């Protein structure tokens, strides 16, 4: 009886008989001996592909796993692309890695393959945040760069983020060109693994200084910081790269009362104090919030392993510590930035902000009220970076972000940046404290002025080949049978980003969506409720983003209004069968 699909068996045979390390072959043989056919199938049924976050997966042997050979093939394909794109040039790249298990090994392999292909490698000698890599690519005049990270995924994961010459992740058509080159690596023998020492140059503290000096120039409220320099900040890097830059950034901005969560200060790929090293998860901030209560802090900051995302906690009006979600923090940041720019007469009409299509429309309301140009992009920060590059030199990017806790201020980087964001969240806290207010009170004021927007995210995990098929079937079902109502409000529009068309369900008329193709569906109701359905590009999940809103009558009605919106979200999710 055939236990493995023929194509899977063929790939397994290629690895068992090819020029792979003996240890890898032993791992595969053990899976065969144990008849672990489901795991073997998942390890070999496809080649890892670039999604919105690049190459990402669990570590282990196989074409659908992160290992020396998939990392090597990705790098060789990227080398081949760069050689074709920049013929006759000595191509330069930058490489960094996070604190994950094997990240340093995979970074070294990446550097070795680049060097063997006569590419000059600027290699961070120690772990560093993703945004610093983006900065280094731009500063050092590189044509590309690679960050070895799986961001906030569980410890079994690792990944490979590939960047273009602008310091942003590759976008269409270049991402496809790179994928084609990777797919064209027909054999492990096509990969050059032999290190050429002369092509590898170590970098570190000198880039730290340049980056920190650059982001410090962006500060809009230095006077408020001077008056509030003793602001009590608790910071956790959650065992990641943030420890290398965040304390320095806060100090350079002018904050001198920062308490680091010692239990989470040491980089560790096993993430021993958390279930998931993700600042979106309440559990990951437990130790930081405990410390904040102990010292009666003003602000809690926590960054993920590669320090591109930041989560925060603040005290509410009852003195209780509460976590803000990514939409709330993003809205606060944009409102603060535009207010501070406006107060200083810096708005000239040439400025703009950006968010993604699944991020709160509260940000759009704020931008419109302040008369600042606003853009929506597809999910994935690479699209924000792409827009920034297109507008560079013509208009000024103030800030932007996405609901998944990723933000950027200023134009020095082309990816989400928890370091500059953390510094500005601290600055924003000082700005409001200087006015006798708090971040929580500023959030309530924002809702009073622009409407109370409440968002939630539901992620459904469907692992393996069968899971991918289930997710596809779910999207088809929603596409062909959109909900008639959401929380009692009639659905009046369907946006299908896969077919790049928006349908008015009342008149059955359509209009084009001026964004690249993406497998996302959005349902919009009469009362402004928005639900977006989107398969993740980097994880075996389908995600549902729900946004509801209403007027906030007065500050005292906050808790009552929030409860009404929470109930509405429950009803909306039932309408979707979730």
Q: How far apart are CA 59 and CA 74, in angstroms?
A: 15
DSSP string, 241-293: GGGGTHHHHHHHHT---EEE-GGGTS--TT-TT-SS--TTSGGGGHHHHHHHH
Query: What was the pLDDT predicted at 51?
Result: 56
Whether residue 178 is predicted with pLDDT greater than 80 in this model: the reply is yes
Task: Kindly state the percentage of the chain with pLDDT values over 90.
Answer: 91
Q: Which of 48-80 are b and which e, b meaning 16 or more Cβ less than 10 Å from the residue's Cβ? A: bebbbbbbbbbbbbbbbbbbbbbbbbbbbbbbb
DSSP assignment letter at 65: S
Pair 54, 133: CB distance under 8 Å: no
pLDDT at 1: 36
Nearest alpha carbon to residue 187 among 5, 6, 20:
20
Catalytic residue among 43, 103, 115, 151: 151
Average pLDDT of the chain, as a whole number: 95
**Do 454 and 562 touch, CB atoms closer than 8 A?**
yes
Determine the Cα–Cα distance for residues 192 and 88; give it in Å rounded to an integer: 20
Quick: pLDDT tens for 3-46.
789 999 999 999 999 999 999 999 999 999 999 999 999 999 98
Let me know if 151 is a catalytic residue: yes
**pLDDT single digits (tens) 556-575:** 999 999 999 999 999 999 99
Q: Which residue has the tokens 């990705």?
A: 74
Plot region of 531 (φ>0 → left; ψ -120 to 50 → alpha; else → beta): beta
Res. 80: pLDDT tops 70: yes
> Could you tell me which residues are beta bridge partners of residue 493?
504, 524
131 in helix, strand or coil? helix
What letters, b where the CB count within 10 A reaches 16 and e where it falls short, cover 427-456?
A: bbbbbbbbeeebbbbbbbebbbebebbbbb
Q: What is the pLDDT of residues 190-228, one digit of tens each?
A: 999 999 999 999 999 999 999 999 999 999 999 999 999
CA atoms within 13 A on the CB side of 120: 11
Residue 225 to residue 429: CA distance in whole angstroms? 9
Work out the burial of residue 554: count CB atoms within 10 Å of its CB; fewer than 13 is exposed, 13-18 middle, 19 or more buried: exposed
Residue 2 scores a pLDDT above 60: no
What are the distances in angstroms from CA 349 to CA 170, 219, 396, 515, 564? 30, 20, 9, 24, 38
* C-alpha span between 526 and 225 (Å, rounded): 44
pLDDT tens digits along 268-283:
999 999 999 999 999 9
Instruction: Classify residue 560 by burial, with Cβ atoms within 10 Å: 0-12, 13-18, 19+.
Output: exposed
Contacts of 375 (CB under 8 A, 6+ apart): 352, 353, 354, 355, 387
pTM for this entry: 0.95
Find all residues with CB under 8 Å of 69, minimum gap 6, and list them.
Answer: 20, 24, 188, 191
Alpha-carbon distance 8 to 385, whole Å?
A: 37
Q: Which helix (H) or strand (E) holds 194?
A: none
pLDDT confidence bin for 176, thresholds 50/70/90: confident
pLDDT confidence band for 48 (50 / 70 / 90): confident
pLDDT of residue 538: 66
Higher model confidence: residue 244 or residue 50?
A: 244
CA 255 vs CA 237, 334, 550: distances in Å: 17, 21, 37
**pLDDT tens digits for range 299-328:** 999 999 999 999 999 999 999 999 999 999
pLDDT bracket for residue 69 (50, 70, 90): very high
- Tokens, residue 318: 């009852």
- Report pLDDT digits (tens) over 282-300: 999 999 999 999 999 999 9
Q: Where are the beta strands (DSSP E) in 466-569?
A: 485-486, 489-496, 501-504, 509-512, 521-525, 530-535, 541-550
Comparing 113-127, 166-180, 224-238, 488-502, the range with the smallest average pLDDT is: 166-180
Name the token pair of 46. Answer: 């496809």
pLDDT over 70 (residue 133): yes
Helix (H) or strand (E) holding 165: none
Give the mean model confidence (pLDDT) for residues 373-387: 95
């Amino acid at each position: 009886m055939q236990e493995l699909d023929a194509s899977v068996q063929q790939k397994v045979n290629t690895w068992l008989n090819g020029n792979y390390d003996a240890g890898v072959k032993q791992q595969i043989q053990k899976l065969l001996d144990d008849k672990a056919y489901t795991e073997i199938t998942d390890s070999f049924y496809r080649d890892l592909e670039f999604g919105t976050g690049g190459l990402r997966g669990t570590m282990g042997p196989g074409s659908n796993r992160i290992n020396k050979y998939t990392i090597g093939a990705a790098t060789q394909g990227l080398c081949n692309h760069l050689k074709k794109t920049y013929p006759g040039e000595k191509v330069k790249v930058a490489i960094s890695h996070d604190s994950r298990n094997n990240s340093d090994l995979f970074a070294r392999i990446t550097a070795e393959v680049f060097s063997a292909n006569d590419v000059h490698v600027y290699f961070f000698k120690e772990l560093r945040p993703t945004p610093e890599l983006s900065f280094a690519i731009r500063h050092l005049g590189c044509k590309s760069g690679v960050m070895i990270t799986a961001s906030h995924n569980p410890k079994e994961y690792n990944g490979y983020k590939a960047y273009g010459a602008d310091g942003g992740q590759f976008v269409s058509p270049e991402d496809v060109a790179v994928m084609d080159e990777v797919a064209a690596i027909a054999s492990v023998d096509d990969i050059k693994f032999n290190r050429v020492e002369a092509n590898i140059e170590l970098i570190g503290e000198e880039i730290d200084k340049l980056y920190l000096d650059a982001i410090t120039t962006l500060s809009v409220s230095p006077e408020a910081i001077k008056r509030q320099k003793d602001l009590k900040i608790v910071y956790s890097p959650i065992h990641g790269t943030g420890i290398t830059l965040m304390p320095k950034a806060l100090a350079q901005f002018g904050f001198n009362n920062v308490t680091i969560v010692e239990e989470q200060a040491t980089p560790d790929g096993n993430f021993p104090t958390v279930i998931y090293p993700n600042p979106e998860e309440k559990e990951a901030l437990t130790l930081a919030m405990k410390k904040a209560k102990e010292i009666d802090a003003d602000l809690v900051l926590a960054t993920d392993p590669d320090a591109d995302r930041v989560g925060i906690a603040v005290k509410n009006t009852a003195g209780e510590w509460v976590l803000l979600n990514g939409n709330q923090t993003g809205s606060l940041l944009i409102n603060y930035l535009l207010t501070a720019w406006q107060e200083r007469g810096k708005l000239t009409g040439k400025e703009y902000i950006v968010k993604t299509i699944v991020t709160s429309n509260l940000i759009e309301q704020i931008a419109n009220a302040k008369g600042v140009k606003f853009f929506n992009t597809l999910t994935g920060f690479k699209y924000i970076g792409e827009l920034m590059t297109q507008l560079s030199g013509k208009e000024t990017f103030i800030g932007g972000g996405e609901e998944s806790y990723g933000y950027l201020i200023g134009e020095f980087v082309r990816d989400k940046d928890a370091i500059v964001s953390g510094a500005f969240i601290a600055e924003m806290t000082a700005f409001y404290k200087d006015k006798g207010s708090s971040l929580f009170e500023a959030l309530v004021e924002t809702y009073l002025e622009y409407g109370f927007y409440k968002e939630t995210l539901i992620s459904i995990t469907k692992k393996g080949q069968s899971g991918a098929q289930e997710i596809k079937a779910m999207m088809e079902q929603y596409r062909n049978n959109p909900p008639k109502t959401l929380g009692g409000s009639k659905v009046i529009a369907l946006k299908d980003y896969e077919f790049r068309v928006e349908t008015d369900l009342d008149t059955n008329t359509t209009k084009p969506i001026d964004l690249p193709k993406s497998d996302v569906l959005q349902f919009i109701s009469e009362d402004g409720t928005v639900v977006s359905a989107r398969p993740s590009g980097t994880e075996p999940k389908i995600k549902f983003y729900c946004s509801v809103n209403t007027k906030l009558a007065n500050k005292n009605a906050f808790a009552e209004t929030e409860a009404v919106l929470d109930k509405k979200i429950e009803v909306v999710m039932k309408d979707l069968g979730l």
